Amino acid sequence: MISIRKVAVCLGVCFAPMVFAQQATEPNFVDHVAPIIYENCVECHRPGSIAPMTLIDYETVRAWGPVIKDRVVRRKMPPYFIDKTVGVQSFEDDRSLTDEEIATIAAWVDAGSPQGDISNLPAVPEFEDSVAWTLEDEMGRPPDLIIPIPEPFMVPADGPNWWMTFYSDTGLTEDRWIKAFETKPSAEGFPVVHHAVTSMEFPEGGGGFLSEYALGKTADINPPGTGQLIKAGTRLIWNVHYASSPDGLDRTDRTRLALWFLPKGEEPEHELIRAHMADNEDLDLPGGEAAIRTDGYEFLDKNIRITTFQPHLHNLGTRQCIEVIYQDNRRQTLSCADWDFGWHIAYNYAEDVQPLIPKGSMLHVTSWYNNSPSNPWAGDSRNWVGFGQRSTDDMSFSWISYYELTDEEYEAAVEERFSQINSGSD
């Protein structure tokens, strides 16, 4: 049994109260606000992309200034909803604004949104088209393999929700280890694809889960030293949830999965596992209530190292937390995140704080829901809502990425984490 102190150390928990810095000088759009907007917002807020308005010019940003201030101060935009005051606080690819950036935007709006010298305006970023692979630059090359659903699928303008199962041959002639993957609906199909989940069917049987796409999420990169095995002759099984387009048009989709492999002959130290944990299908969300809580539990019979936490709820969800309950009943919160159904975000822990959980522990997932008139996502808040596959039903679980550790690996990882913390405090 490791000590209480070691448990806290190995989980890398810290608490970071939010303090907004004071703006030293009056900010203007050209010199202060445009760099923040261009770096963090226009990937979505540009012509032809998914956001409802573009933010590439001063006049438009000025007009939307009060709304922008509200969204960034409440950390609704950019979408990254991890609670900054509890649990593990160090993440890879954290897209949230800094306190200083939020203070700059707020001060600019409060000062009347001055423009500044337009001749100094930084260049507007250029982006690939909406169906380009977002991981291509980060991976340094195009995908090694692209697997589409077998045929285009037409979603009628007035149709019901569809849950389609497709089968795609991968064409693989040798076993490979997956380094990263990205799922993309086609450009026309993007508005009608709610989720696209893939699993593998190996020729000799077995296979298991591979990838998950949902609104607001496309890609995953496996942490260093990990990978997912895909065997020669594997058949891909798709589960795709379609819903009619909000613009009232028929839409045709051909969703694709892109894979990047580790170099041939290279095997990872650990096989990464992605699974939803602590499911609770016994949901009872009464109509008219704004603070409904549900709980799910997952017993761990192996030591694990968690690399990613991704909440999963539906329209009524507002927040989810994950904690570990140790064998002696001590509890420790790992992470909490607010929930927005439009953004299924994977929160990737930085390597030096990835939670190390001993076998015999329990993962406890707590979710909250709002089924009252104050929730604009509630279809009819007079009605009870339970578990189901439709967006108007709800769910409660966490997608967790992890890999298993032997007892020896676990003890060594704890000692290494403890040594890192001690050396950093000297």
pLDDT in tens, 136-194: 888 999 999 999 999 999 999 988 888 999 999 999 999 999 999 999 998 888 889 98
Strands 303-312 and 347-349: antiparallel
Beta carbons within 10 angstroms of residue 241's beta carbon: 18
E strand or H helix at 145, and its extent? strand 145-148
Q: Is the pLDDT of residue 57 over 60?
A: yes
**pLDDT confidence of 24, banded at 50, 70, 90?**
low
Residue 290's pLDDT band (cuts 50, 70, 90): very high
Instruction: Give residue-wise pLDDT tens across range 110-129.
Output: 999 999 999 999 998 887 66
Identify the structural domains of the chain with CATH numbers, from first to last: 13-120 (no CATH), 136-270 (2.60.120.230), 274-417 (2.60.120.230)
Lookup: tokens for 419: 């040594």
Structure tokens at 375: 């929730």
269, two tokens: 């130290």
Confidence check: pLDDT of 25 > 80: no
- As a whole number of angstroms, the distance between CA 228 and CA 249 comes to 38
Residue 84 confidence (pLDDT)? 85
Return the axis-axis angle of helices 407-424 and 4-11, rounded to nearest 10°. Answer: 80
pLDDT at 9 > cutoff 70: no
Residue 13 has pLDDT above 60, yes or no: no
| For residues 62-75, average pLDDT | 94
User: Which 8-state DSSP code applies to residue 132?
Assistant: S
Q: pTM for the complete prediction?
A: 0.85
Considering only residues 278 and 129, tell me which one the structure prediction assigns the higher pLDDT. Answer: 278
396-407 per-position pLDDT tens digit: 999 999 999 999
Is pLDDT of 203 > 90? Answer: yes
